[in-house]
Structure 1
């Protein structure tokens, strides 16, 4: 761990440690068939990546923006296995996958090929926004301006990672589409609140919702 000004622990390192520890506490190593030590070792190279990819001075996350998010991909864990680990801030009720995805569940969804999602068990998202400015805008209409800004819509696993590390990002009237994952039809997955818990559902790409924005990130980075 590096030290910040005055000899105190570097705030980026503290944020990175918190995310790794949270994944271990939730049981991600076991789901991936790994020991906690091996899982931590897999994540560790991304610490250096985060220091290079996140410009200083380090700014802590808010409800609508995160400096970086550690993503555990589908190469290690299935989305259906980790949605039930989600909770809202201050709540104990666990996440669910909407049954309206159909008999195949989340299996048909794939990241859009143009996103160049890393082929890695874990990777880093930077400059993550939940995208509330796109509330009330059809997902099909929100995507072009996101791409024009050089940003990238989030995938299902990335949206799960956001709520895992920052449950306060999901709140009433501020939920978000995950337009980076599609299944070859007009369905767009989304993360919202059902009752007192997160739910991974979907909406039609042509339907606007006043409570659903479109989440995005600036970059994705795998360890070298």
Structure 2
């Protein structure tokens, strides 16, 4: 397995433009935030980062249909009805504020064909933190082109904890539907939120990561 650095990720819009994009999609309303509050949060973060609304305010199940690629809307796979139970790993330093900013993410193309279990160890060794599912969805909302045929990514910073405190063996990912099986032919080419087993490898899935997350002040939650 190689450790060649990944190509640079697609360039993110400026934070104010990211806030406007989320406002246009209605994410602020879903999260119970005012448009002005989201814009203030964007003004408080690192200029080149990715703006993220916490999944405790705007769950992935509500954001996935807002994804779009080639005119096709995003969706969550049918056997992941519990998608909102996939929360950040306990040891990740994820801000508890309604809005936060992460440093520019990397798609982790060089880790394609690694298993999630292997990739988590490698990312940690590199001083990087795996993206959560919510962070990955926000990235694709801002830069739809981050999802490419044979170059998509996993978000192993999110896992579901079972009743006995054990991690669910499923690890979430974002990729492009081939329109097969239960996806349906009409969804061919659509952005897809799905999962893979923690011990399996896929040649077309990298492992998205960041170097840091920053809490930002928003306030202005709606009553």
Length-normalised TM-score, structure 2: 0.80
Instruction: Tell me the residue number matched to 1:148.
Output: 125
Equivalent runs, 1:201-220 vs 2, <5 Å? 201-220=194-213
Task: Specify every segment of 5 or more residues in structure 2 that has no aligned partner in the other structure, as ranges.
Answer: 1-10, 161-166, 178-187, 218-223
8 A Cα contact 2:19 2:39, kept in partner: yes
What residue is the counterpart of 1:75 in the other structure? 56
Greater helix content: 1
TM-score, scaled to structure 1: 0.80
CA distances 1:139-193 after superposition (whole Å, capped 9, x unpaired): 1111111001110001011000110111111110001111000112211000011
Listed as ranges, the gaps of 5+ residues in structure 1 are 1-11, 52-66
User: 2:153·2:205 contact (CA, 8 Å) conserved in 1?
Assistant: yes
Q: How does 1:89-108 map to 2 (within 5 A)?
A: 91-102=70-81, 105-108=82-85
The structure 1 segments of at least 4 consecutive aligned residues displaced by more than 4 Å after TM superposition are none
Match of 1:193 among 176, 180, 183: 176
For residues 94 and 44 of structure 2, the distance between their equivalents in structure 1, rounded to whole angstroms, comes to 18
Aligned ranges 1:1-224 → 2 under 5 Å: 15-46=14-45, 50-51=46-47, 67-88=48-69, 91-102=70-81, 105-183=82-160, 184-194=167-177, 195-223=188-216
8 Å CA contact retained: 2:67, 2:141: yes
**Quick check: 1:87–1:198 contact (8 Å CA) kept in 2?**
yes
Backbone CA RMSD of aligned residues: 1.9
| CA drift at 1:137 | 1.1
Report the Cα distance in structure 2 between the residues aligned to 1:35 and 1:76, rounded to whole angstroms. 13
- For this pair of structures, how many residues does the alignment match? 191
Distance 1:38 1:127, change over 3 A: closer
Q: For the residues of structure 2 that align with 1:126 and 1:73, how far apart are their CA atoms?
A: 16
CA contact (8 A) 1:75 1:120 kept: no
Change (3 A) 1:79 1:142: same
Corresponding residue SS for 1:17: helix
| Cα displacement (A) at 1:108 | 2.4
Q: Secondary structure at the match of 2:61?
A: helix
- SS at structure 1 position matched to 2:206: strand
Q: Deviations over 1:110-142 (max 9, x none)?
A: 211111111011111113101111111111111
